């Protein structure tokens, strides 16, 4: 069970996608690393009672929170499954977007759910901790994943996925959709000021930065966040966004 796993750390994220196959001594992570440059702004996730990811003790778990991704076959299969919203086989991904309009589309598709929430994370904090983010549009092209939604020309644009788990430190905060939807500029006027405050608090002081440069540890710098989650976990399988 995901709730029984220890908190994801850099060491484990280096191991899970990089296991060397004893038969050929190769790994997909060497030829195609699953790391991206950080997106410009925050990552947004629409969450309600039919969403797939678990919310446990303030962190977010994928439904396959320790699934290995150490060869091309496992990556193609899991990506194809996750991107098909009709297939609810567990995957190690949690979907996010950088786009306000994508969140609004998801909210409109689920008018009857009652716990609509926008969860915001900081990709910079995640990458500093050594935890992976992948660019869905780039991976669809690289692995030639079938297009499940050809009518949607920009489905993958701004779509990012965090692997396995999102830890507490990465979470900026959560907002009830009812508190956002009345403002057509909710991302810029409500979310972004809080996100900028989060970045200011997370930025190392000059003294901390000097010690970072002297560190001999391989561990990523852990940056504490300020957000908290108030939404609850659900096992309903009818979500259109995993």
As a whole number, mean pLDDT of residues 130-148 equals 87
Q: Is the dihedral of CA 153, 151, 177, 131 positive or negative?
A: negative
Q: Is residue 36 part of a domain?
A: yes
- Euclidean distance between CA atoms 45 and 56, whole angstroms: 16
Confidence band for 153, pLDDT divided at 50, 70 and 90: low
As a whole number, mean pLDDT of residues 13-35 equals 60
Q: Give the DSSP letter of residue 189.
A: I
Question: What's residue 233's pLDDT?
Answer: 39
Q: What is the DSSP string of 11-64?
A: HHHHHTT-PPPTTT---HHHHS----PPPSS-EEEEE-TT-SSEEETTEEE-SS
Pairwise pLDDT comparison (155 vs 101), residue with the higher score: 101
Q: Convert the pLDDT of each residue in 187-241 to its tens digit.
A: 999 999 999 999 999 886 544 444 444 433 333 333 333 333 434 333 344 444 5
Q: Is residue 6 part of a domain?
A: no
Pairwise pLDDT comparison (100 vs 217), residue with the higher score: 100
Would you state the structure tokens that stand for residue 142, as one six-digit string?
């690289």
Judge whether 71 and 21 are in contact, CB under 8 Å.
yes
Region class of 228: left (phi > 0), else alpha (psi between -120 and 50), else beta: beta
Strand blocks (E) in 62-210:
93-97, 117-121, 133-135, 159-163, 165-166, 171-176
Question: What's residue 170's pLDDT?
Answer: 95
Q: Is residue 135 part of a domain?
A: yes
Pairwise pLDDT comparison (21 vs 59), residue with the higher score: 59
Q: Convert the pLDDT of each residue in 32-88 to its tens digit.
A: 877 777 788 999 999 988 776 777 778 898 988 878 887 888 889 999 988 887 887
Question: What's residue 151's pLDDT?
Answer: 66
Q: Which residues pair with 55 in a beta bridge?
A: 60
Query: With pLDDT > 70 as the criterion, what percentage of the chain qualifies?
Result: 71
Q: Which residues pair with 54 in a beta bridge?
A: 61
Q: Is residue 222 part of a domain?
A: no
CATH classification of the domain holding 132: 3.20.170.30
- Euclidean distance between CA atoms 157 and 141, whole angstroms: 12
Question: What's residue 130's pLDDT?
Answer: 85
Question: What's residue 205's pLDDT?
Answer: 52
Q: Which residues pair with 174 in a beta bridge?
A: 119
Collapsed DSSP state (helix, strand, coil) of residue 144: coil
Q: Is residue 239 part of a domain?
A: no
Helix crossing, 136-143 with 72-82: angle to 10°?
A: 120
Q: Is residue 237 part of a domain?
A: no
Q: Is the pLDDT of residue 165 over 60?
A: yes
Q: Give the DSSP letter of residue 187.
A: I
Domain total of the chain: 1
Q: Is the pLDDT of residue 144 over 60?
A: yes
| Range of the structural domain that residue 153 is part of | 13-214
- What is the average pLDDT score of the chain? 77
Neighbours of 197 (CB within 10 A): 13
Q: Is residue 138 part of a domain?
A: yes
As a whole number, mean pLDDT of residues 157-165 equals 92
Q: Is residue 2 part of a domain?
A: no
Q: Is the pLDDT of residue 242 over 80?
A: no
């Amino acid at each position: 069970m995901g709730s029984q796993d220890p908190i994801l750390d850099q060491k484990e994220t280096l191991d899970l996608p990089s296991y060397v196959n004893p038969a050929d001594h190769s790994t997909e992570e060497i030829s195609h690393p699953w790391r991206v440059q950080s997106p410009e702004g925050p990552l947004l996730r629409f969450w309600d009672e039919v969403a797939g990811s678990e919310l446990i003790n303030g962190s977010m778990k994928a439904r396959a929170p320790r699934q290995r991704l150490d060869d091309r076959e496992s990556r193609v299969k899991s990506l194809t499954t996750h991107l098909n919203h009709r297939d609810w086989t567990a995957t190690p991904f949690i979907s996010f977007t950088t786009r306000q309009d994508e969140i609004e589309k998801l909210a409109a598709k689920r008018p009857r759910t009652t716990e609509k929430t926008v969860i915001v994370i900081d990709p910079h904090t995640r990458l500093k901790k050594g935890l992976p983010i992948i660019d869905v549009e780039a991976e669809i092209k690289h692995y030639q994943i079938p297009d499940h939604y050809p009518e949607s020309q920009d489905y993958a644009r701004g779509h990012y996925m965090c692997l396995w788990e999102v830890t507490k430190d990465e979470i900026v905060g959560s907002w009830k959709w009812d508190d956002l939807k009345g403002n057509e500029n909710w991302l810029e006027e409500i979310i972004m000021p809080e996100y900028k405050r989060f970045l200011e608090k997370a930025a190392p002081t000059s003294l901390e930065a000097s010690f970072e440069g002297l560190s001999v540890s391989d561990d990523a710098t852990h940056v504490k966040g300020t957000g908290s989650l108030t939404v609850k976990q659900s096992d309903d399988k009818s979500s259109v966004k995993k």
